[in-house]
């Protein structure tokens, strides 16, 4: 597309550039600014003036330099080759930039989002001559060993399928089909473009009923997340937000993972870029990059690109959702995205709201999180987007604007606790402040596939943890010795829950990931200790005697001793515990009947 000059630079204020003498421009139009052709987007039009936010370093720009318009909004290219690629916030391939720029991203670098020369094996699935709707699947491409890429008609394109290419190898620029409607013929290629700020259409939004399994017991059992759901992960610096995001990217059972490093430190993004290609997907046995897309926008990159990266990631997710895949979008962190909004708002001289954030912060957060969900796509497939956004409140203050507004638009909240993090308790998700509103919706799945007592076990654990928190206030005042054993066993059971169940090691190959069946069996063992132990205490046993049973040490170490594949060992442990506690109960019953100690 030929670009034309639409105006000249009037004023430069950081990433905000004011253009004068504007003609033929549109709101949200993609522009190229200055002699280096820096990528920008029009965000305000007033008469013959336009305000542009530039996604690159504006150092060196000066008034009078030309600005070129593209005639289209900020868009991403969608087609084979997205999986396994590392992009920046405006979908430039960082690996290509590295090879061409010798380490650092140079200003004005223009890189095609997808490889124009690579050929893909296209297999047609729709016969010519039939009527096709927008979004219909007309063929497939094997994008990676684990992802079958379904070639869909772009939204808004439908009619009679006049011609489909034969099976063979094609580049993304070659025509592979032709569709005619109302006398107009449209050529279809393997790729198409879509504006990042516009939600892709779908047929129906569906209810949520399937959990997104993460392998983290505190999440799967206590604060579950549904496929198509939304969750916020707030926490102060050093509480493990990024580590949790990385673990979810590795172990969650989504088909596609899109990780958005939005304003994070460069060393954290670097660690991920080094680790991910070396990781093996536990489900397929292939590389994790065979089902992942990474958008890297570090804190030293231009602030405006940070704002765009969130929309780039969610648009890529919608594309794969329309194919019928379950996609997990991990945004780390939305606080730095909000800070980018605040900086741009300040340079635009807009009226600030709470703590300097723009008044439209809540609506922008809502626009992002509402693009999650389980849908029936125009292709006829059912897919979902699960959005997991971390929040970095200054000083761990959850009352700050970003955290508070985010809570309005998410239904799951994993609050990270600084005390747990300082105690090296991973994941540091606090059980008193966290919650999930998806529990009832996914209960049927748990009952049908894992255990019919999941809801009752979960409720019992949460009640014990809340009771333990109240008892700890008493212990801090007068010490534990004044408590009766019937209350001490609550503290002991919660200690077991924290150390043997809720805490996991990200470095232990047996403990870093747990399947639901293992999680439920572990929970039953600990709750059996509490229930039968409390019965024995009422019969005269002491907590000291309960802790001396041989199986107690095995319970403490079961998470790192018993692999997911050996559930029979957990069943054996359950039987040993039942037998030991039943024998102890029988002894005290006999003593009560005979009057002998």
Q: pTM above 0.95?
A: no
CATH number for the domain harbouring residue 348 = 3.40.50.300
Q: Give yes or no: residues 306 and 385 share one domain.
A: yes
pLDDT of residue 94: 87
CATH number of domain containing 558: 1.10.1140.10
Same domain, 431 and 468: no
The pLDDT value given to residue 109: 84
User: What is residue 2's predicted lDDT score, i.e. its pLDDT?
Assistant: 56
Which CATH number do you get for residue 144?
2.40.50.100
Residue 177's DSSP bridge partners are 164, 188
Question: Does residue 522 have a pLDDT over 80?
Answer: yes
Give the residue numbers spanning the domain of 322. 205-437
pLDDT of 597 above 70:
no
> pLDDT digit string (tens) for 314-336?
999 999 999 999 999 999 889 99
Average pLDDT over the chain, rounded to an integer? 92
User: CA-to-CA distance for 518 and 501, rounded, in angstroms?
Assistant: 11
Per-residue pLDDT at 489: 95
Query: What is the C-alpha separation between 507 and 503, in angstroms, rounded?
Result: 12
The 10s digit of each residue's pLDDT in 81-106 is: 999 999 988 899 988 888 877 667 77
What pLDDT is stored for residue 166 in this prediction? Answer: 95
| 304 and 356 part of one domain | yes
263 and 366 co-located in one domain? yes
Quickly tell me which residue has 């600990």 as its tokens. Answer: 526
Residues 42, 150 within the same domain: no
Preceding omega of 153 cis (within 30 degrees of 0): no
Whether residue 468 sits in one domain with residue 344? no
pLDDT over 90 at 369, yes or no: yes
Asked whether residue 86 is domain-assigned, the answer is no
Q: Which of 403, 437, 471 is the last residue of a domain?
A: 437
- Ranges 68-72, 163-167, 284-288, 520-524: which has the least confidence: 284-288
Give the count of domains, the chain.
4
Neighbours of 349 (CB within 10 A): 9
Categorize the per-residue pLDDT at 596 as very low, low, confident or very high, splitting at 50, 70 and 90.
low
Binned at pLDDT 50, 70 and 90, residue 518 comes out as very high
- Mark which of 437, 468, 500 sits at the end of a domain: 437
- Residue 385 sits in the same domain as residue 517: no
Using omega within 30 degrees of 0 as the cis cutoff, is the peptide bond preceding 416 cis?
no
Indicate whether 479 and 502 sit together in one domain. Answer: yes
The enclosing domain of 13 has a CATH number of: 2.40.30.20
Domain assignment of residue 27, yes or no: yes
pLDDT tens sequence across 475-489: 988 888 889 999 999
Q: Based on the domain organization, do 282 and 367 belong to the same domain?
A: yes
Q: Is the pLDDT at 311 greater than 60, yes or no? A: yes
Q: Is 574 contained in some domain? A: yes
Instruction: Look at residue 505 and tell me if it is in a domain.
Output: yes
Half-sphere exposure of 79 (CA within 13 A, CB side): 25
- Asked, for residue 535, whether it belongs to a domain, the answer is yes
Has residue 471 got a pLDDT over 90?
Answer: yes
| Structure letter (DSSP) for residue 288 | G
pLDDT (mean) for 487-496: 95
DSSP string covering 429-458, please? B-TTT-EES-HHHHHHHHHHHT-TTHHHHH
My answer on whether 122 and 230 are in the same domain is no
> How far is it, in rounded angstroms, from Cα 536 to Cα 546?
9
Domain assignment of residue 82, yes or no: no
Note the pLDDT of residue 128.
Answer: 93
Give yes or no: residues 382 and 501 share one domain. no
> Does 392 score more than 60 pLDDT?
yes
Mean pLDDT, residues 151-158 taken together: 95
Do both 338 and 476 map to the same domain? no
Q: What does DSSP assign to residue 82?
A: -
Last residue of a domain, one of 191, 221, 248: 191
| % of the chain with per-residue pLDDT over 70 | 99
111 occurs within a structural domain: no
């Amino acid at each position: 597309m030929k670009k034309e000059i639409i105006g000249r630079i009037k004023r430069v204020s950081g990433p905000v550039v004011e253009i004068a003498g504007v003609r033929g421009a549109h709101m949200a139009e993609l522009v190229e600014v200055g002699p280096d052709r820096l990528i920008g987007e029009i965000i305000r039009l007033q008469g013959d003036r336009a305000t542009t936010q530039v996604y690159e370093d504006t150092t060196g720009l000066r008034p009078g330099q030309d600005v070129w318009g593209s005639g289209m909004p900020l868009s991403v290219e969608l087609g084979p080759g997205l999986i396994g690629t590392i992009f920046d916030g405006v979908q430039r391939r960082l690996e290509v930039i590295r090879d061409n720029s010798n380490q650092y991203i140079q200003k004005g670098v223009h890189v095609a989002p997808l490889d124009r020369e690579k050929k893909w094996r296209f297999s047609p699935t729709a016969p010519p001559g039939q009527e096709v709707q927008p979004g219909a699947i007309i063929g497939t491409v094997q994008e990676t060993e684990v992802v079958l890429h379904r070639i869909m008609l772009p939204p808004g394109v439908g009619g009679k399928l006049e011609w489909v290419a034969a099976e063979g190898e094609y580049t993304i620029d070659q025509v592979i089909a032709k569709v005619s409607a109302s006398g107009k013929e449209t050529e279809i290629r393997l790729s198409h473009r879509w504006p990042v700020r516009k939600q892709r259409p779908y047929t129906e939004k569906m209810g949520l009923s399937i959990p997104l399994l993460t392998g983290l017991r505190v999440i799967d059992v206590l604060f579950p997340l549904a496929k198509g759901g939304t969750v916020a992960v707030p926490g102060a610096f050093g509480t493990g937000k990024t580590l949790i995001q990385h673990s979810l990217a590795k172990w969650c059972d989504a088909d596609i993972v899109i990780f958005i490093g939005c304003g994070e430190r460069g060393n954290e993004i670097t660690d991920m870029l080094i680790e991910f290609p070396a990781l093996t997907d536990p489900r397929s046995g292939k590389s994790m990059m065979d089902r992942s897309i990474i958008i890297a926008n570090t804190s030293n990159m231009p602030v405006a690109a940070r704002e765009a990266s969130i929309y780039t990631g969610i648009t890529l997710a919608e594309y794969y959702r329309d194919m019928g895949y379950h996609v997990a979008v991990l945004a780390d962190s939305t606080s730095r995205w909000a800070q980018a909004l605040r900086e741009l708002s300040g340079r635009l001289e807009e009226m600030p709201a709470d703590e300097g954030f723009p008044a439209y912060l809540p609506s922008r957060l809502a626009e992002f999180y509402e693009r999650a969900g389980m849908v029936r796509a125009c292709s006829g497939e059912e897919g979902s987007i699960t959005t997991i956004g971390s929040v970095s409140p200054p000083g761990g203050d959850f009352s700050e604007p970003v955290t508070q507004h985010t809570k309005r638009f998410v239904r799951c909240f994993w609050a990270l606790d600084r005390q747990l993090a300082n105690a090296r308790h991973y994941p540091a998700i606090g059980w008193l402040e966290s919650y999930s509103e998806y529990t009832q919706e996914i209960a049927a799945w748990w009952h049908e596939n894992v255990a019919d007592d999941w809801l009752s076990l979960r409720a019992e654990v949460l009640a014990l943890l809340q009771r333990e928190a109240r008892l700890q206030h008493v212990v801090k005042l007068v010490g534990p010795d004044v408590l009766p054993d019937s209350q001490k066993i609550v503290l002991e059971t919660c200690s077991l829950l924290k150390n043997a169940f809720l805490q996991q090691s990200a470095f232990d190959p047996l403990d870093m990931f747990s399947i639901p069946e293992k999680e439920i069996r572990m929970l039953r063992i600990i709750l059996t200790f509490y229930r039968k132990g409390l019965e024995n205490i009422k019969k005269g046993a002491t907590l000291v005697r309960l802790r001396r049973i041989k199986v107690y040490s095995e319970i403490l170490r079961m998470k790192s001793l018993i692999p997911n594949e050996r559930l029979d060992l957990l069943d054996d442990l359950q039987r040993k515990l039942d037998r030991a506690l039943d024998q102890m109960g029988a002894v005290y019953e006999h003593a009560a009947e005979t009057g002998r100690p």
